[in-house]
Amino acid sequence: MIFGLFKKKSGNIAIVERQYGLLTAAARQPFLYTDLDVPDTVMGRFEMLSAILILYFRRTRASARTGQEIAQEIVDAFFEDVDHSIRELGVGDAGVPKKMKKFAGMFYGRLESYATALDGGDRQALADALRRNFHPQQDDAPAMTGLARYLMSVEAALAKVPEEQVETGQLRVPPAGSQ
């Protein structure tokens, strides 16, 4: 399992596993793919997990040190997961670092563009960014306004989550379709 690396880093392994599991489960909700225009592809799943993780990181930036440490370990787990997935897709050892650099750039680029829209409370700007990222080079791509609405409601809900839930890896993303 990818979390074996964290044993040396901290005593947070159980917390990180639990929280990462909750976040990935939130990104895999069928409603996102059937009703909110998230493509059910490898890249669509990467995009959705990235969006959920971005909201989680935005929530934890105001956390105490423990919450921020857990968030960093979750970033590490995410990129370990991406590395593992790249290898499963048949990319050889020599090509993995180049692919990882590309995915890291994509993730941090999304973090910046989504944060700009979220900070401004601009649902249309968020929908536009989601459309570009989830449906690149597709002229007839869906508007992504439903997903933008959902993500904004998730961010508002996560802001109300008590710090104890963050520090114990029990932060839950509200289900899609509940907003």
Segment 11-70, tens digit of pLDDT: 789 999 999 999 999 999 999 999 999 999 989 999 999 999 999 999 999 888 888 999
Identify the residue whose tokens are 């499963």: 88
Is a pLDDT exceeding 60 seen at residue 162? Answer: yes
Is a pLDDT exceeding 50 seen at residue 163? Answer: yes
Residue 91 corresponds to which tokens in the numbers above? 């990319």
pTM, entire model: 0.88
- Asked if 20 and 78 touch (Cβ cutoff 8 Å), the reply is yes
For the chain, give the percent of residues with pLDDT over 90.
Answer: 70
Is a pLDDT exceeding 50 seen at residue 96? Answer: yes
Burial of 75 (0-12, 13-18, 19+ CB in 10 A): middle
Domain range annotation of the chain: 2-7+15-167
Angle between helices 123-134 and 42-60 (to 10 degrees): 140
